[in-house]
Copies of this chain bind each other. A is one copy, B any other.
Amino acid sequence: MAIVGCGAVGSLFAANLAQLDEVEVWAFDLDREHVAAINEQGLRLSGAGELVGEVRATTDAAELPPSDFGIVATKCMHTAAAIEATAPAFADGAVCSVQNGVGNEEVLAEYAERVIRGTTFPAGRVLGPGHVQWDVKGDTTIGPFEPSPAPMAEVERLAAVCTRGGMPTQAVADARGPQWRKLIFNAATNPIGALTGLTHGRVCDDPGLRRLVSQLVDEGRAVAAAQGIELDADPEELIDHAARPDVAYDHKASMLQDAEAHRQTEVDYLNGGISRVGREQGIPTPLNDAITALIKGLEASWAQT
């Protein structure tokens, strides 16, 4: 088992799966300090769960042993480089995306034969080398990627391992519903946090912003429906959930974390992805277009002298 991209979400998988005796967990990441700390002291999670995972980490993809499964958890814009480097390790295995946004599986399929579409809800943030804050627990759903599917038996095996390791995961025949539900939720909330500086809970709780969030949800819903995707549940439930004071109220969305660190965001794969598919399907998405432009403008300002 190899985790490709050991940021917050990748670390949640790596550290949890490393609790299983029968699984050897490798992590591929380009952050030398993070990799060195993991190899020296293990990968530590704090917050929603406290544990240390014995993980073999490397910045050199050639060191990865052949693996049955790769779990790809990089930011969307790094998917191609990451899978190009690590694909040889998965020549006889399957590769599963647990990333945000749309279009990641398409990229994985350019380098890997058997691909699994996945969506994961747990969230956190890197506190420092080898140490990740686990902000929110949650489920993962995986299914065969339609054009280059992994066999369903393999999908089910991966789900069972993740679940045993403490990351509850469900194998389903069509994982597009949960993926679009999360995409729509992310696109409706994440950039609002990045533009306003508000935490997840406050974005979902403020009446004016909640109206905007719901309008963004409606655009995403229309684009999903045009593709024949049936959402497994209403994205509004996730927003109601985020607005509850006890859950993820004070969680800073990953895009707000990116904005505060002046790091490129995933907006092209979230709102930009909804807009792109909307254009293909002939569904107008003016608010997602606007949010994409605002976030790209914000990114551009970081280079402004």
Contact = CB atoms under 8 A, between A and B. Distances in A.
A300 B205 CA distance: 12
A140 B195 CA distance: 34
A247 interface: no
Q: Is the interface of A mostly helix, strand, loop or mixed?
A: helix
A297 B203 CA distance: 8
Give the interface size class of chain A.
20 to 34
B304 A199 contact: yes
Contact of A286 (B195, B287, B294, B298): B287
Interface stretch (A123-131, A147-155, A209-217, A237-245): A209-217
A181 interface: no
A8 interface: no
Contact of A292 (B195, B208, B215): B208
Contacts of A215: 286, 290
A197 B294 contact: no
A20 to B, nearest CB: 40
A133 to B, nearest CB: 18
A196 B300 contact: yes
Interface in A203-234: 203, 206, 208-209, 211-212, 215
A37 interface: no
B298 A195 contact: yes
A200 to B, nearest CB: 12
19 contacts: A192-B297, A195-B294, A196-B298, A196-B301, A198-B304, A202-B297, A202-B304, A203-B297, A206-B296, A206-B297, A206-B300, A208-B296, A209-B296, A209-B297, A215-B290, A286-B286, A287-B287, A290-B290, A294-B294
